[in-house]
Every structure is written in C-alpha cells, then in structure tokens.
Amino acid sequence: MTMIGPTNPSRGVLRPLGLDEVRLTDGLWAERQQLNATAVLPHCTRWIERAGWIDNVRVLGARGPAAGRRGREFSDSEVYKLLEAYSWEARRSGDPAAGRVITDWGATLAAAQNPDGYLNTNFGRAGQAARYSDLEWGHELYCYGHLIQAGVARLRAHGSDDLVTVACRAADHICTEFGPHGRNAICGHPEVETALVELYRATGQDRYLAQARLFVERRGTGLLAAGPFGREYFSDHVPVRRARVFEGHAVRALYLASGAVDVAIETGDDALLQAVVQQWQRTVATRTYLTGGMGARHEGESFGDDFELPPDGAYAESCAGVASVMLAWRLLLATGEATYAELTERTLHNVIAGALAADGHAFFYVNPLQQRVAGAAPDPDALSPRAATGVRAPWFEVSCCPTNLARTLASLGGYTATADAAGVRIELITGAEIRTSLPGGRRVGLRVVTQYPWHGQVRVQITESDGAPWRVSVRVPSWATGATLTVDGQSRSAAAGQYAQAERPWRPGDELVLELPIAPRWTFPDPRLDATRGTVAVERGPLVYCVESLDVPAGLDLDRVAVLTGAPPVDAPAAHGAPAVNVPAVSAAADEPPSWPYAADRPAAGATAGQPLRMIPFYARANRGPAAMRVFLPEHRTDRRADRPADRPADRPADE
C-alpha cells in the first residue's frame, strides 16, 4: 500500500498514517487546512505569478533570454514548494483547481528541463554563471530538493505525471553529476538529502539513497568555502556524526539533521541516528524558545549559544519551525518516544499556527517573543524585506516561509497519528477521522472528538473494529499532570509525558475519554536564560500566551508591567476567537523614564494587589493591527529587599 504523506521510513518503531488514513474534521487545524486551501494557496500562486518566478521557468522552457530573470537565486524553490502543497491539497480535498495548477506548471517544468536533467533558471544560460559554479550560495541542489519533495508528494498522492518525471530526471542528473565518480561537492543549503531518501522510499531506486548518504557524509569535511558567517552557517564545520548540538543557520541545520535521520534509518546506521538524537536533546534543552521556535540570532539566521534566547531579538524563523517539525516527527517514528511528538505539537501551535494571518494573506518570517514597538502595517501590494516588522507581510523578497507553511498545512494529516503492531496512536490531538489497517489487514477506525486546545476533554470513539483486541493510545502532554483516562466507565490516572493506552476487543461505538487539565499555568525560565531571568510566562494547554499593548488597561503599560504570581492565572472571557487569560499586574517602575537606567539600589518594592491584565494565545497576536507584544513578563516580587539583611532586622516581616 502506498503511504500518502511526506515521510515514510521503512524501519522504525512507528508507521506514520497518511492523508488517506487521517482526515482532520474540525477544530484549530481543520480550520487552518481550510484556510490554506481557500486563501493561502491562491495567495501564494498569485504572488509567484506576479513576482515573475513561474515566468522565469516559462521563459527558460521557451529558450528565452536569461536577462529578464526576476527574483533571488532560489526563487525556483518557491514554485516547487507550492507544487508540493498543491499535490497534498489535491489529494486531501479533491479540488480540481489544485490538480490544474500541478498539470499546468508540471508541463512548464518539463519544457524547461535540460535533456540531461538539469533544471535551474539562474545558472547555465548565456549571460549567467555556469552550472554549479557557486555551490555555497547558488542553491541549485537545494532547489532540486524541493522539486524532488514535490515529485514525491505527487507520486504518492496521485501517481506519475510531468512533475514526477521531472523530479526523477533531476534526481538521476544529481546522481550522475555528484555521485562517487562525479563532483566531490555539496550544496550550501542542505535539503536535497532528505528529499533523495524520500524519493528512494517512494521508488525503490537504491541510487537515490546512496547519493543522499554521500551528501551527508561529505558535509563537515570543509568542501565549502567559509563565508562571512563561517562554515557553521552551512553546517559544514564538523561531520554530522561528530556534531554535539545544532549550530549555525537553523533551517539548514534542521534540514540536514532530517536527512541524516532518513539516511540512518534506511541504512541501519544507529550511530548516526544516536548522534542526531543527542544533538536534538541538547538543542531542545538549551537553544529552543518556549514557543518551540529555533534560531536566537538574526545574524546568520543562526541558533546562537546555549541559553542565548532573547525574546525580543529572537529570529525563530517560520521555516525553522517547519524544519523542526520535520525532524521531530522523524525521530518520533524512529524511537516512539513521546517527547518528539510533544515538541511537534508545541511548534505547530505556537510557531506554525501563528505564522499566518487570520485571513491567510500575510505571514511572519521571524517570530520574536517580544515586540517592543508596534510595527508599521506593510503595504499589502508590495514585497517586504524579510523580518522587517512586527506585523505579517503578504510576500517577501526571500519568500521561503509562506510556501513552507502551505505544504505543511496541506500535509498535516500526515503528522497526526501513527500505528504500530498493537494498534493506533494519536500524536496530535485534534478533531479527526482515522481509518487504517493493522498487520494482517485488520481494518480499524476511530474518531477523535475534542475542542482541544481550548478544552481538555478528548473523546476517542471506535468506528471500525473486527472484534479482536487492539490498542488505542493517546499522547498525554508532559504538562498534563492529573490527567485521567476513562474506558468502560472505569477511570484511572494517565501519566503525563506518556501515552494513555487501552487495549480491548473494541466494538464500534466504544469510547475512551481522556481528560487533560488545561487550566492556565505559570511557566518559569531556567535561571541560565539571562534574557528572561526574573520573568514568567503563561501557558494554557499547548498554547503559549502573550500580552498585546491593545489589551493593556489604563494605569499599566507594557514596558513597566510586572505580574503577581502568588495565585495561578485565570481564564477570562474569550476574546478575538480564542480563550483569554487574566493575570494580576502592577506597574513596576516610575512613570517617567530615568535619566540613567541604572542605580545603586534595587527598585523599591511595589504594590501587592494587581489589576487584571488580559493575555491571548501567542499565535493570535498581530491580528488586530500593529501592537507591541510580550510573552515573558517580569515577576513582581514584594520581598525584593529581603536578601539585603542590613536593611531589615531578621524579626521583621519581609513586606515592609
């Protein structure tokens, strides 16, 4: 049976269920898939036409001149990523319009491809640099990677056509050009590695796997010239299997790690897999934002050092969120460990869900956790420089993120549930219909009914079963202490950070009910995170919350606010389509700015009673126009002077 989804490893603890096995029915993710279909995909298509990026391919196919080519060196990749999104979407929804774009653009690509399989609008013609003359920055293999992923999506979701043929011919060309007897070289931007392994999985052609393995093994051996950001930028400073942590450009490092996991799985290279597992663990422990965002520095779009996670300076590119989901999902399938699914959930709910505007027509490139000054609303008719404002933009000069979000949302059914020999596991809790076959061809089905992440009740109803026992597992997030699972009227506690499981000879109509405690909670950063020391954040279920300046009441302002953490934050009436949370807040500094923002003494202790300050989900930010925003709020301490015994006799109470 063909698996219809982005990644299908031949080994591992879990088998991913595909788009034909999982249908998102309602809730936050089904709504975003629908928004993707009706708004994001047409929007991306219009902009790719308008920016001239598909015209570049048309002109190449017509043997036209290179002189009028528009866009950056990697603009071909946006065509490919959108084609991948359409391939999933055509299968998910059956929308004939999606199929027409694939057929039309697929024929355009076929006409443009060189007889030897080469395809790139930026190199090789009269007036352009020669093929593969700039592997550091040229992105030719990176573009092929996205072309191949689009081809795999189309092959799995539909079957062979022009797009698939073009992708396979490009892959064959790569194997000839960069194989053991070809150029000993790699691309500045990893991506082709994971794509080649997936094409191997989809076609069974060993040479694609061998080529991917060669690319992974060559990296870190100094084949690329160090540029202004060093070899770390290209993940070429140390071999993958010797690296200790993800470094340099976040998207590149995460795509490479995904490809390395794919190679490790298919070649049985457990040492390589363990190397990536250890890099992931340290990166999550020291280089990951509360939102799941990765990339602390704008310079080099890079990870930064351990514990260097400034909320205002955060880069946390939307594409790094996509790449992190790709990697964590692969590690989940390889190991079966819930921690990977939990990071996937965190990143989806806080980076991916918020990267697109409520109307699907604008996108965040970077996702900082604090916006000190409200950004200027961008011209909806103009290309934006990346990362320029605190509001979403319709399109970018470097427009990697919108199409990356589009392909992820269209294929999200493939990141929702898994199966093993014993049964079905629900990894991403959301309204869904699941039907699959267990070993032996046993047909099973279940329906997930829930208003998660707004509410904590998750009902799993059996819709199909053959009467023999099989297991249903639902992931319990690590914050969900006190969760319970009820089956057949019997309730028991369900351990946080593991899977709540029940195995029965299920009959259609049977139900499991998981109750997750979803009350808002305080979250404190590790003291080693200097940039957020002394602050606190609010989470509710898998959602990180933030304050927008639009919600700050009279008497408070966002720069001076501090919150009282003596009691938990409380639910507030829903606002702007999402549950709000109130926290008690005070003003922690004088109204007037000081002449010098440093002093010989700590600030005086402040008020003990706060007024309610409304917080909204981080993903819902910046949908009401430009606003200042922050996730981490200073914690207001009424005992600030308690650690200065000279000020206070020991027998006096701390609150003076």
Nearer to Zn ion, 166 or 254 (CB): 254
CB of 90 to Zn ion, least distance (A): 24
Specify burial of residue 517 (Cβ count, 10 A radius: 0-12, 13-18, 19+).
Answer: middle
CB of 303 to Zn ion, least distance (A): 15
Under the criterion CB under 5 A, does residue 405 sit at the interface with Zn ion? no
CB of 372 to Zn ion, least distance (A): 23
CB of 648 to Zn ion, least distance (A): 53
String marking each residue 312-341 x if it binds Zn ion according to CB under 5 A = -----x-x----------------------
Cα–Cα dist 528/589, whole Å = 25
Backbone angles phi, psi at 280, to 5 degrees: -65, -45
Using CB under 5 A, count the residues that bind Zn ion: 4
What residues have CB less than 8 Å from 632, skipping those under 6 apart? 311, 369, 370, 525, 532, 535, 536, 537
CB of 226 to Zn ion, least distance (A): 23
For residue 119 the two structure tokens come to: 């395809």
Specify burial of residue 624 (Cβ count, 10 A radius: 0-12, 13-18, 19+).
Answer: middle
CA angle (259, 262, 263) in 5-degree steps? 90
Nearer to Zn ion, 17 or 322 (CB): 322
CB of 396 to Zn ion, least distance (A): 8
Stretch that binds Zn ion, among 399-407, 482-490, 532-540, 582-590 (CB under 5 A): 399-407
Q: CA 389 → CA 43, 108, 156, 245, 374, distances in Å?
A: 20, 35, 39, 30, 8
CB of 320 to Zn ion, least distance (A): 8
Q: If we measure between CA atoms, which residue out of 143, 142, 166 comes closest to residue 155?
A: 166
Under the criterion CB under 5 A, does residue 400 sit at the interface with Zn ion? yes
Nearer to Zn ion, 208 or 395 (CB): 395
Q: CA 53 → CA 57, 75, 124, 153, 351, distances in Å?
A: 7, 6, 17, 21, 27
According to DSSP, the residues that pair with 291 across neighbouring strands are none
Question: Binding to Zn ion (CB under 5 A): which residues in 279-318?
Answer: 317
Return contacts of 129-132, CB within 8 angstroms, 24+ apart. 132/177, 132/183, 132/185
String marking each residue 2-21 x if it binds Zn ion according to CB under 5 A = --------------------
Amino acid, single-letter form, for residue 61: G
CB of 399 to Zn ion, least distance (A): 8
Specify burial of residue 1 (Cβ count, 10 A radius: 0-12, 13-18, 19+).
Answer: exposed
Stretch that binds Zn ion, among 103-111, 168-176, 397-405, 423-431 (CB under 5 A): 397-405
Nearer to Zn ion, 319 or 419 (CB): 319
CA angle (615, 620, 621) in 5-degree steps? 70
Question: Binding to Zn ion (CB under 5 A): which residues in 491-520?
Answer: none
User: What angle, 0 to 180 degrees and rounded to 10, lies between the N-to-C axes of helices 400-410 and 41-50?
Assistant: 150
Which residue in the shown chain puts its C-beta closest to Zn ion? 319
Nearer to Zn ion, 194 or 473 (CB): 194
Amino acid, single-letter form, for residue 600: A
Nearer to Zn ion, 17 or 406 (CB): 406
CB of 319 to Zn ion, least distance (A): 3
Cα–Cα dist 591/593, whole Å = 6
What single DSSP character describes residue 265? H
Under the criterion CB under 5 A, does residue 401 sit at the interface with Zn ion? yes
Stretch that binds Zn ion, among 108-116, 288-296, 393-401, 602-610 (CB under 5 A): 393-401
CB of 223 to Zn ion, least distance (A): 25
Strands (DSSP E) along 221-305, which ranges?
none
- 529 CB neighbour count, 10 Å cutoff: 20
Question: Binding to Zn ion (CB under 5 A): which residues in 344-383?
Answer: none
Nearer to Zn ion, 386 or 459 (CB): 386
Question: Binding to Zn ion (CB under 5 A): which residues in 64-123?
Answer: none
Cα–Cα dist 88/413, whole Å = 10
Nearer to Zn ion, 400 or 460 (CB): 400
CB of 386 to Zn ion, least distance (A): 8
CB of 146 to Zn ion, least distance (A): 12
CB of 627 to Zn ion, least distance (A): 23
- Give me the count of residues in the chain: 656
Nearer to Zn ion, 186 or 319 (CB): 319
Nearer to Zn ion, 75 or 203 (CB): 75
Return contacts of 114-118, CB within 8 angstroms, 24+ apart. 116/173, 116/176, 117/169, 117/170, 117/172, 117/173, 117/174, 117/176, 118/170, 118/173
Query: In the chain, what is the greatest distance between 2 CA atoms, to the nearest angstrom?
Result: 88
Give SS3 for 22.
strand
Instruction: Say which residue the tokens 């081809």 belong to.
Output: 151
Nearer to Zn ion, 84 or 317 (CB): 317
Nearer to Zn ion, 178 or 396 (CB): 396
Stretch that binds Zn ion, among 135-143, 396-404, 489-497, 607-615 (CB under 5 A): 396-404
Cα–Cα dist 378/376, whole Å = 6
Nearer to Zn ion, 81 or 636 (CB): 81
Stretch that binds Zn ion, among 400-408, 550-558, 605-613, 629-637 (CB under 5 A): 400-408
Q: If we measure between CA atoms, which residue out of 82, 112, 114 comes closest to residue 98?
A: 82
String marking each residue 237-276 x if it binds Zn ion according to CB under 5 A = ----------------------------------------
Nearer to Zn ion, 348 or 448 (CB): 348
Nearer to Zn ion, 164 or 400 (CB): 400
- 648 CB neighbour count, 10 Å cutoff: 15
What residues have CB less than 8 Å from 618, skipping those under 6 apart? 291, 350, 354, 369, 543, 544, 545, 546, 631
CB of 456 to Zn ion, least distance (A): 33
CB of 6 to Zn ion, least distance (A): 17
Binding site for Zn ion (CB under 5 A): 317, 319, 400-401
